Structure formats: C-alpha cells, structure tokens
Amino acid sequence: MSVIKYTSATKILVSVKGHPYQRDEFFAMFEDMQDLSYTAVEQPASKLFFAPETAADYDAHVLYDMPGIDFSCQPPRLVDPGQEFKRNFIDLLNTGHGFVFLHHAIAGWPTWPEYAEIVGGKFLYLPAELRGAACLDSGYRHDASYTASINNNHAVTAGVDLTFPLTDELYLYEVFEDDVIPLISSDYSFDREHFYSARQAVTGNMHCRDDWPHQSGSKLIGWVKHYLNSPVVYLQMGDGPSAYGASQYRQLLENAIRWVSSADAHQWARERNSRPPVKRSSSNQYPNPSI
C-alpha cells in the first residue's frame, strides 16, 4: 500500500486508565505529532464517547486503557461493560471509525468475547474460555530487549526501519493470526521459560511461572485488520518511557493514527467487510494478502 498523504488536522480521543503508565512521557508522543489534536479521557467516562453521535467529533480512538478488570481484590473481579456500551461500540464500528489499540488495551473487557474479535487477540489475566477452547492465563515479561521486524509493506510501517531494537514489556498472549494482517514481529523467545504467569501476578506472586504450563505463542506484536466497517490497528509495544521515546515506535504510532483516520482506510475496511471470509493457509506463517 502506498504512503497516504494527510492534508488536514487529525482529531483523536485517547482513552486511558486501568493500568499504570508514565503520564507525561506518554502524552508527549501525541504533543510532538504535527497537525494532530487529542482529547484524553479516563475510563469509565470514555465509555460515553463510543456512541456514534459523540464519536463523530473525532477521526479515531486510541485505546490505552484496560477496562473491565477490578484489581482491588484477589483474584481480580471481572466487570461487564453493559449492554448500552456494547451496542454503541458495535454501532460505531458499523458506521466506520478508526481504532488504534495499544499494549495493555488487548486485555480489556474480558467478559465480552466480541472485544477480542475486534482487537484480533486477547491477553488473559485469568484462565478463560476463548473461541470455545480453554486457555491458560497469559504471560508477561518486563524490560525485554529484542529486535522487531517489519513483516508487510503498509502505510502503518512507512518510514520505519525493517528491523529495529526495542526494550519493552512483551506478552505471551492469544493472537488470532488467521484474522489479522501481520505488520511487526519480535525475535524474542515466546515460550513459557521467558515469561511469567499473569494469574500468579494478580494473586500476589510476581515473576512466577509455577503451575503454568503455557504453550509457546505468537511472535506478532503488531497488525492491522477490519471489524465491520472500521479499520483497526494493534501495537503490542508501548509499556513505558523506553518505548515512548523510541523513534521507530513513535513513527508506527503516528502512522497508525493517520491511517485509521484516512478515507483510504475506511474504504478498505468497507470493501473487506463486504467480502466473504478468506481461509488462509497455515503453511505460510505471515502471509502477505492484498492490503
């Protein structure tokens, strides 16, 4: 896909809260983007901006939140988003709206299975059923140093080095690889020995993998997809200042915002939504479909 040129200011809503983060360093990324204005809203107030009429003031939503999990008790209490929010979110996706999900946002709304389908995967703090199969809780690894590689030529990856180093938190999580277009992968070892159990962490045992026979997982840390008529980007990077200050990550984030906000991306999502689903061959780990 060719690089998209943007001619007008982009307005985004940034939804935060639910997971610790360095506020000043995080928002500095958006402040440094030219011709972009953002409104930051914390959950649960940001739920109000998922109705099509309130979202219409924005070109895209950037989700850096983790709603639906109450960590004030052990194990955490799971909170349902409510029927009105679900209905508004689906209506907005049907209307066509850009979404960029960042890092821990993939763990949000664990009681709502469709949320995982929207994002393209799931980080599980507790064991759960996903797509009809029992899944163990996911894994985390802080301050992991790795090399990221670009898997596909796309507007989101324009201007980004084909490989670049990063030190950031990584996840051993569930990725619906057949339903996403891969953009970025990591050379880190995504196996049990290099990660820790999320369930152990939220029950008071940090950096523990006891009684956690998790299988090896996906190396994908970035992808694009559509859901209904909306373009979606997920970037797994972005835990803290080491990522916030990395030029390659900043470029990816800005590209993702500009792309999901563009008319080209909206047309792409509508066209893909009108096609019958395509079954991809498992023999090609990272296919290069028409994007």
Give tens-digit pLDDT for 13-32.
999 999 999 999 999 999 99
Output the CA–CA distances (angstroms, integers) from residue 155 to 78, 177, 183, 226, 238, in the order listed. 36, 20, 10, 15, 19
Answer yes or no: is pLDDT of 279 > 70: no
pLDDT at 26: 97
pLDDT at 6: 39
Indicate whether 228 belongs to any domain: yes
Answer yes or no: is pLDDT of 285 > 80: no
Q: Are 95 and 229 in contact (CB under 8 A)?
A: yes
The C-alpha atoms of residue 235 and residue 224 are separated, in whole angstroms, by: 9
Show the domain range for 198. 10-273
Rounded to the nearest integer, the mean pLDDT of the chain is 93
Which pTM value belongs to this model? 0.93
pLDDT at 284: 40
Indicate whether 178 belongs to any domain: yes
Indicate whether 35 belongs to any domain: yes
Output the CA–CA distances (angstroms, integers) from residue 177 to 173, 181, 182, 228, in the order listed. 12, 8, 8, 18
Indicate whether 168 belongs to any domain: yes
Indicate whether 69 belongs to any domain: yes
Indicate whether 4 belongs to any domain: no
Count of structural domains within the chain: 1
Residue 26: CATH number of its domain:
3.40.50.880
Answer yes or no: is pLDDT of 206 > 90: yes
**Hey, which residues does 10 pair with through a beta bridge?**
36
Indicate whether 151 belongs to any domain: yes
The C-alpha atoms of residue 258 and residue 154 are separated, in whole angstroms, by: 12
pLDDT at 276: 76
Which tens digit of pLDDT belongs to each residue from 119-133? Answer: 999 999 999 999 999
Indicate whether 288 belongs to any domain: no
The C-alpha atoms of residue 97 and residue 226 are separated, in whole angstroms, by: 10
Q: Are 197 and 209 in contact (CB under 8 A)?
A: yes
Q: How confident is the model at residue 277 (pLDDT cuts 50, 70, 90)?
A: low
Q: How confident is the model at residue 113 (pLDDT cuts 50, 70, 90)?
A: very high
As a whole number of Å, the end-to-end CA separation of the chain is 6
Q: What 3-state DSSP class applies to 144?
A: strand
**DSSP 8-state class, residue 38:** E
Cis amide prior to 44 (ω within 30 degrees): yes
